[in-house]
Amino acid sequence: MHITHDIEKPKSIKRAGLVLRPESKHIKPHYLRIKHTLSSHGVEVLVSHESAKFLDIEGIDEQEMFEKSDILIAIGGDGTLISLARKSYQYNKPLLGINAGNLGFLTDISLNEIESCIDKIFRDDYRIDNRMVLEVELLSPMGNKKLSAFNDIVLSRPTIEGMISIDAMASSKKAIMPKHHLNTYYGDGLIISTPTGSTAYNLSAGGPIVFPLTEALILTPICPHSLTERPIVLPADFEVEFSSEDETIVVIDGQDTYNLKFFDAIKINIAKQGIKMIHRTDRNYFEVLKQKLRWGSK
């Protein structure tokens, strides 16, 4: 997979699919602004049933919306955009995030920029980034379960009591390395993050910030028993596999939860297809970091 700027843009935008953060009735005025601006460019706005009920309008089946739309828009926080990205992943449509939340690393368009941002899209003054996705496979003799993760996979203990032990194996064709024992993590758990997710739970747990167009796997232990345990960044061609004899909870993008006791192991590598993100051409990631994390402020 090639992670880069300058991904091919839609030849035309005739329909835009829209989802809202759940229970966000106060967003209706902003929805009307988006609809009005898109309509002025001849674009039909499709709204999923779940979001439409908060707007008191008629909605459309979510899968049908994904199929028919040329671009998809999320109004809310990063969680809303991540949910949209995961649900629409197989349709490979460009996503635009409008921030109606707080931090907003992914939804970097503010509410007061709605009209100007949409107008720039129709002047071809925008770019599309291809963000890395993790391919997740829960291994079982009864059949493997395949999933995708945009932000991170968290392996954690089910309760606040005790610690868990997680065995990590790694392999790489490029490094000519067959499956080899990487580490045994003993503590509260482990985060396997994408560069996009590096500013989420990974950052809170002491992991590194990694530029979002980097191709890498980030492994960050959560409150490890040994103070010498440190995060590690692995190249994109690595495949990692984790198992545990302790009861371990698997949380994918903070939205899907599984118990590892029902599986033999969890295997993770980088998916061939990324997620297309629409950004302003003048968006500078380091300016975003300085603003969101208040770097350099007194």
**Residue 289 domain boundaries:** 15-132+274-293
| Count of Cβ atoms closer than 10 Å to residue 150 Cβ | 26
Four-CA torsion 174, 252, 274, 103, nearest 10 degrees:
-120
Whether residues 84 and 190 fall in one domain: no
Whether residues 140 and 174 fall in one domain: yes
| Helix ranges, the chain (H) | 28-39, 49-55, 62-68, 78-87, 114-121, 201-204, 285-293
Whether residues 57 and 78 fall in one domain: yes
Answer whether residue 285 is part of any domain: yes
pLDDT digit string (tens) for 19-61? 998 776 688 889 999 999 999 999 999 999 999 988 889 999 9
pLDDT reported for residue 25: 65
- Mapped onto helix, strand or coil, the DSSP state of residue 33 is helix
Q: What is the mean pLDDT of residues 61-71?
A: 97
Q: What is the DSSP string of 88-99?
A: TGGG---EEEEE
pLDDT reported for residue 1: 43
Terminal CA-CA length for the chain? 41
Whether residues 254 and 200 fall in one domain: yes
To the nearest whole percent, how much of the chain has pLDDT over 70?
96
Whether residues 52 and 146 fall in one domain: no
pLDDT reported for residue 107: 82
CA dist list (Å): 28 to 16, 101, 157: 17, 15, 40
| Count of Cβ atoms closer than 10 Å to residue 241 Cβ | 19
Rounded to whole angstroms, the Cα distance separating 92 from 272 reads: 12
Residues paired with residue 74 on neighbouring β-strands, in sequence order = 19, 97
Four-CA torsion 64, 69, 71, 76, nearest 10 degrees:
-40
pLDDT digit string (tens) for 143-192? 899 999 999 999 999 998 889 999 999 999 887 888 999 999 999 999 99
pTM, whole model, 2 decimals? 0.91
- What is the count of structural domains for the chain? 2
173 CA to centre of own chain: 26
Whether residues 109 and 228 fall in one domain: no
Give me the CATH number covering residue 170: 2.60.200.30
Q: What is the mean pLDDT of residues 261-267?
A: 95
The angle at the Cα of 60, spanning 54 to 64, to the nearest 5 degrees, equals 140
Q: Is the pLDDT of residue 284 over 90?
A: no
Q: Which residues are catalytic?
A: 78
Q: Is 247 left (phi over 0), alpha (psi -120 to 50) or beta?
A: beta
| Count of Cβ atoms closer than 10 Å to residue 7 Cβ | 16
Question: Are 242 and 190 spatial neighbours (Cβ–Cβ below 8 Å)?
Answer: yes
pLDDT reported for residue 225: 94
Across the chain, mean pLDDT equals 91
pLDDT reported for residue 3: 44
Whether residues 90 and 206 fall in one domain: no
Output the CA torsion sign for 249, 226, 228, 295.
positive
Question: Are 98 and 50 spatial neighbours (Cβ–Cβ below 8 Å)?
Answer: no
Answer whether residue 192 is part of any domain: yes
Give me the CATH number covering residue 24: 3.40.50.10330
Residues paired with residue 134 on neighbouring β-strands, in sequence order = 149, 270
Answer whether residue 261 is part of any domain: yes
Q: Is the pLDDT of residue 247 over 70?
A: yes
Q: What is the mean pLDDT of residues 64-84?
A: 94
Answer whether residue 151 is part of any domain: yes
Whether residues 218 and 155 fall in one domain: yes
Whether residues 149 and 98 fall in one domain: no
Query: Residue 42 corresponds to which amino acid?
Result: G
Answer whether residue 10 is part of any domain: no
The least confident of 7-16, 101-110, 270-279 is: 101-110
Answer whether residue 230 is part of any domain: yes
Whether residues 191 and 225 fall in one domain: yes
pLDDT reported for residue 298: 61
Rounded to whole angstroms, the Cα distance separating 47 from 292 reads: 30
Query: Residue 201 corresponds to which amino acid?
Result: Y
Whether residues 66 and 155 fall in one domain: no
Q: Which residue has the tokens 């509260």?
A: 188
Whether residues 29 and 118 fall in one domain: yes
pLDDT reported for residue 73: 96
Answer whether residue 2 is part of any domain: no
Q: Is the pLDDT of residue 109 over 90?
A: no
The least confident of 23-27, 71-75, 200-204 is: 23-27
Residues with Cβ < 8 Å from 241, sequence gap 6 or more? 139, 168, 169, 170, 179, 265, 266, 267, 268
